[in-house]
């Protein structure tokens, strides 16, 4: 103990008197009480807040802020109580140090959970946490003036503008915080729009994209104002950006505008079954650049939005989800055609995905070289589940029905007529 007192005296650090020691003990007790209240609040309110978040803000089950809300409530409550304790009394440095240490730690941990919950990179999250901790701890033990003065003194002059380390740190914190707020706002707005029954799926996607763009624009303008950048400085940048759009980004901007038009005119919607060139499948998502089409093989094709505007597209479910499936069938010439056609209708109606209304039909299409050719016309209402499996099911049922009824399925055969046979030599 004597060595500690001697070391403190050597560096000019005065020892606390009796009143300061009592004040430091009271501050330590308040710190422990605030941390205990934070733990209790996290346990009591965390699960309830997580359930409310899932129902009213975002339904993500395994990611995002919801799994972290318990820790956010715990550390945030402690930080709030410690901030009240710090400003409620003029503490001596010996009493302010434990309060500042606990306050900085609780605020940094709250910031960490918030930043990671919205997907901010680790390096950016750790940087902001360090800044929060240093700022609050310095405020508690003597003020931020020495730190801010030092950071502001480290600067370079570029043209007529002075760029200090303090300005760079402030800009970094502003950008990270605004990105976090934009991501939270996008999730809240997207979940709110998704729960609106008055909008169909296409209108919901369009509203979500417009809201996301609006949030980014508002955050950008707000950030420019906070950082203190003059908007006239963007005049040259806007001209360069216009040239870039005119030359190098035509496809990108064209796909963006085409995507908005597709969402507005509702010609292609999520869930539609479309055919574009060799790609056949159902629309999974309409993005900013491309439309995701999932095929029956599980492959996901990303088709640029502009292609859907300029190329011919078959939309099987544009105005009506019912799709007619054509199933060719041939029977031998010596078969009972009436019985064969009745069995074709029976096999179609027995298939679970074939609709009873509109009812299936059988057409005799041609007298072929090998047999009498028919076509079964059956309707389905779920084309996203495929059409090949419907043909397979109907033909499998028809195979056994034909075998039981004695109806033959023709195969390729040719009759050769010999009009004359050459006489062998010497006969």
Q: What is the pLDDT of residues 339-372, one digit of tens each?
A: 999 999 999 999 998 988 888 999 999 998 888 9
- Domains in the chain, CATH or no CATH each: 13-143 (no CATH), 230-319 (2.30.30.60), 323-405 (3.30.70.100)
User: Mapped to the 3 state alphabet, what secondary structure does 6-60 carry?
Assistant: HHHHHCCCCCCCHHHHHHHHHHHHHHHHHHHHHHHHHHHHHHHHHHHHHHHCCCC
β 273-276/314-315 pair status: antiparallel
| Token pair listed for 128 | 């902001």
Contact 91, 21 (CB under 8 A): no
Q: Which two tokens stand for residue 382?
A: 């779920």
Q: Counting beta carbons within 10 angstroms of the beta carbon of residue 261, is it exposed (0 to 12), middle (13 to 18) or buried (19 or more)?
A: middle
Per-residue pLDDT at 205? 72
Q: How many C-beta atoms surround the C-beta of residue 115 within 10 A?
A: 22
Distance, in Å, from the CA atom of 108 to the CA atom of 334, rounded to the nearest integer, reads 88
For residues 196 and 211, what is the distance between their CA atoms, to the nearest angstrom?
Answer: 14
Dihedral sign, CA of 350, 351, 354, 355? positive
**pLDDT score of 5:** 46
Strand (E) positions, 260-322? Answer: 273-276, 279-286, 290-294, 300-304, 314-315
CA-to-CA distance for 368 and 332, rounded, in angstroms?
Answer: 10
Q: What is the pTM of this model?
A: 0.53
Place of tokens 């028919």: 374
CB 118 within 8 A of CB 184: yes
Range list of β-strands (E), 66-185: 155-158, 161-164
At 202 the pLDDT is 66
Per-residue pLDDT at 193: 78
pLDDT for residue 344: 92
Tens digit of pLDDT for each residue in 289-336? 788 888 877 788 888 888 887 778 888 777 777 888 899 999 988 888
Q: List Cβ neighbours of 414 (8 Å cut-off, separation of 6 or more).
A: none
Low-confidence spans in the chain with pLDDT less than 50: 1-2, 4-5, 7-9, 11, 60-62
Question: 118, 178 in Cβ contact below 8 A?
Answer: no
- Of the candidates 297, 266, 261, 263, the residue with the CA atom closest to the CA atom of residue 279: 297
Which pLDDT score, from 0 to 100, does residue 4 have? Answer: 45
Q: How far apart are CA 261 and CA 268, in angstroms?
A: 10
Which letter, b or e, does each residue of 315-326 get, where b requires 16 or more Cβ atoms within 10 Å of its Cβ? bbbeeeeebebe
Q: Is 291 helix (H, G, I), strand (E, B) or coil?
A: strand
């Amino acid at each position: 103990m004597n060595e500690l007192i001697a070391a403190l005296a050597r560096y000019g650090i005065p020892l606390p008197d009796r009143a300061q020691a009592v004040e430091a003990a009271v501050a330590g007790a308040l710190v422990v009480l605030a941390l205990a209240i934070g733990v209790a609040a996290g346990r009591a309110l965390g699960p309830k807040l997580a359930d409310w978040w899932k129902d009213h803000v975002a339904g993500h089950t395994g990611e995002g802020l919801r799994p972290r809300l318990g820790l956010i409530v715990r550390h945030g409550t402690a930080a709030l109580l410690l901030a009240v304790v710090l400003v409620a009394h003029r503490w001596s440095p010996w009493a302010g140090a434990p309060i500042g240490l606990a306050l900085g730690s609780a605020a940094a941990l709250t910031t960490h959970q918030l930043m990671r919950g919205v997907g901010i990179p680790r390096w950016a999250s750790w940087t902001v946490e360090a800044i929060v901790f240093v700022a609050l701890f310095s405020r508690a033990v003597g003020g931020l003036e020495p730190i801010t003065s030092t950071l502001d003194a480290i600067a370079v002059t570029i043209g007529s503008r002075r760029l200090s380390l303090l300005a760079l740190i402030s800009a970094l914190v502003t950008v990270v915080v605004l990105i976090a707020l934009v991501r939270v706002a996008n999730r809240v707005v997207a979940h709110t729009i998704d729960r609106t029954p008055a909008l169909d799926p296409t209108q919901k996607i369009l509203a979500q994209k417009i809201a996301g763009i609006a949030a980014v624009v508002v955050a950008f303008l707000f950030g420019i104002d906070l950082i203190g950048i003059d908007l006239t400085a963007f005049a040259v940048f806007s001209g360069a950006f216009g040239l870039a759009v005119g030359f190098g980004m035509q496809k990108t901007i064209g796909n963006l505008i085409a995507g908005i038009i597709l969402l507005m005119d509702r010609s292609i919607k999520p869930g539609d079954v479309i055919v574009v060139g060799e790609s056949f499948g159902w629309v999974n998502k309409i993005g900013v650049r491309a439309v995701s089409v999932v095929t029956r093989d599980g492959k996901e094709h990303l088709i640029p939005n502009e292609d859907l505007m300029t190329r011919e597209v078959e939309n099987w479910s544009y105005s009506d989800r019912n799709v007619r499936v054509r199933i060719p069938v041939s029977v031998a010439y010596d078969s009972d055609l009436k019985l064969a056609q009745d069995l074709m209708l029976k096999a179609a109606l027995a298939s679970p995905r074939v609709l009873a209304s509109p009812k299936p039909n059988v057409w005799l299409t041609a007298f072929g070289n090998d047999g009498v050719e028919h076509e079964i016309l059956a309707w389905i209402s779920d084309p996203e589940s495929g059409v090949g499996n419907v043909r397979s099911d109907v033909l499998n049922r028809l195979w056994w029905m034909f075998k039981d009824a004695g109806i033959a399925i023709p195969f390729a055969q040719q009759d050769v007529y010999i009009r004359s046979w050459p006489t062998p030599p010497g006969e």
